Amino acid sequence: MKDLGLIVLENCADFGKKVNEEINKIRNTKEDYIIKITNSRFSNGEGKIIINETVRNKDLYILSDVGNYNITYNLHSFENHMTPDEHYQDIKRVISATSGHARKINVVMPLLYQARQHKRKGRESLDCAIALQELQSLGVSNIITFDAHDPNISNAIPTLAFENIYPTNTILNSFIENEKDSMSDLIVISPDMGATERARYYAEMVHSDVGVFYKRRDLSKVINGKNPIIEHTYMGTDVKGKNALVVDDMIASGGSMLDVATELKKRGANKIFFIATFALFTSGIDSFVKAHKEGLFDKLYSTNLSYVPLNTTSENWYVEVDCSNQLAQIIDRLNTGSSIQSLLNGKEHILKKIEKLKE
């Protein structure tokens, strides 16, 4: 077992504490694996990170939630909310501050930096690939992320370990526990063609059929960086009288999810549940509150892997799925040199739960 150290940036402080607690439970110890750091900024926005404890020969895990837009600092006398670019820069500052003394550096970004800019068409930036290659050049040995928007981004760093963890089984475990009465006549829905594989996996786990919506877009216009959707075309089994489980990797404004729910209701669907690994809610929360009051959907299941606004987590239709134990197990296994293969697929556990429900 290598000497373990967690460097938890402010943007995921609460989650980092939970991971620390879960590691202690797994190991039956009472250690504080979190290494204290000081993260300061000058009034012009320039930053600095100081590591306040020794990291010599430690197996370091740097935890950062690059999607947390609730971290602020004073910039030229006004309050500035940190962007993913600034969070990513702080990761590099931590690496620099180790001064090469750590035995191994692992970067844990549950929400992968610039994950949606994973490929390009024509003359546009390729931010995610550049960032991963930059981390490799800085001496990082391993990247750990959850539900990457496109796992093929790992091709940008073919000689670097890239662990893309899916919280599917953790989410499903919570869903099955809470929604036992809704498991019958369940159909899994992909809100677009890109999420089809994810929907098929969920459908296989809960022994249900799968449906998918095709978004026809107006390619002649760009609104808020996207081509507006003209029409949702449904392909799949009739949803009339069925409970629908709509699954995706992230929710930004959530407009697309609500559009899908509207289409499902038009087609006679009964209960509608949303599942998203990351419920970012950079906007659109009021629309969800209104939609729930109108009975458009029943609940949203999402994780604590990235920041979710308090006005969302306090809603009775929002269910937070805690993934701290899952990450703690992964860190514990990697730190001890054990295989994490069994942690990547908890299918057998979920299938047994389904069978018990049927009985």
| 33-92 pLDDT tens trace | 999 999 999 889 999 999 999 999 999 999 999 999 999 999 998 999 999 999 999 999
List, as one string, the DSSP characters of 184-198. TTEEEEESSGGGHHH
Cβ partners under 8 Å of residue 148, min gap 6: 112, 115, 118, 154, 164
Question: What are phi and psi for residue 64, nearest 5 degrees?
Answer: -145, 130
Residue ranges of alpha helices (H) inside 179-304 are: 196-206, 255-266, 285-293
Tell me if residue 275 falls in helix, strand or coil: strand
Report the pLDDT value the prediction gives residue 7, as an integer from 0 to 100: 98
Residues facing 60 on adjacent strands: 5, 105
Domains of the chain from N-terminus onward: 4-165 (3.40.50.2020), 168-321 (3.40.50.2020)
What is the SS3 assignment for 8? strand
Determine the Cα–Cα distance for residues 99 and 339; give it in Å rounded to an integer: 29
Torsion angle of alpha carbons 127, 129, 135, 137, nearest 10°? -120
> Is the CA virtual torsion 83, 86, 117, 168 positive or negative?
negative
What is the C-alpha separation between 135 and 299, in angstroms, rounded? 38
Contact 122, 111 (CB under 8 A): no
Alpha-carbon distance 323 to 173, whole Å? Answer: 11
Q: What's the pTM?
A: 0.90
Question: What is the spatial distance between Cα 32 and Cα 6, in angstroms, rounded to a whole number?
Answer: 9
d(CA 290, CA 297): 10
Rounded CA-CA distance 35/33 in Å is 6
Q: What are phi and psi of 68, to 5 degrees?
A: -75, 110
d(CA 199, CA 193): 10
The pLDDT of residue 182 is 86
Cβ proximity of 10 and 91 under 8 Å: no
What integer pLDDT is reported at residue 204 of this predicted model? 86
Q: In what order do the strands lie in the sheet with 104-108?
A: 4-8, 59-63, 104-108, 142-146, 161-165
Question: Quick check: 5 and 35 in contact, CB under 8 A?
Answer: yes
Q: Taking the CB of residue 267, how many other CB atoms lie within 10 A of it?
A: 14
What tens-digit pLDDT sequence spans the chain (359 residues)? 679 999 999 999 999 999 999 999 999 999 999 999 999 998 899 999 999 999 999 999 999 999 999 999 999 989 999 999 999 999 999 999 999 999 999 999 999 999 888 777 778 888 999 999 999 999 999 999 999 988 889 999 999 999 999 998 899 999 999 998 888 889 999 998 888 888 998 888 888 899 999 877 767 777 766 677 777 788 988 999 999 999 999 998 888 899 999 999 999 999 999 999 999 998 889 999 999 999 999 999 999 999 998 889 999 999 999 999 999 999 999 999 998 887 775 566 666 666 666 55
Give pairs for 34-38: CB < 8 Å, separation 24+.
Answer: 34/6, 34/7, 34/8, 35/5, 35/6, 35/7, 35/60, 37/7, 37/9, 37/94, 37/97
- What does the block give as tokens for 232? 């949702």
Residue 105 near residue 91 (C-beta atoms within 8 A):
no
DSSP letters, 48-82, are: EEEE-S--TT-EEEEE--TT----EEEETTEEEEP
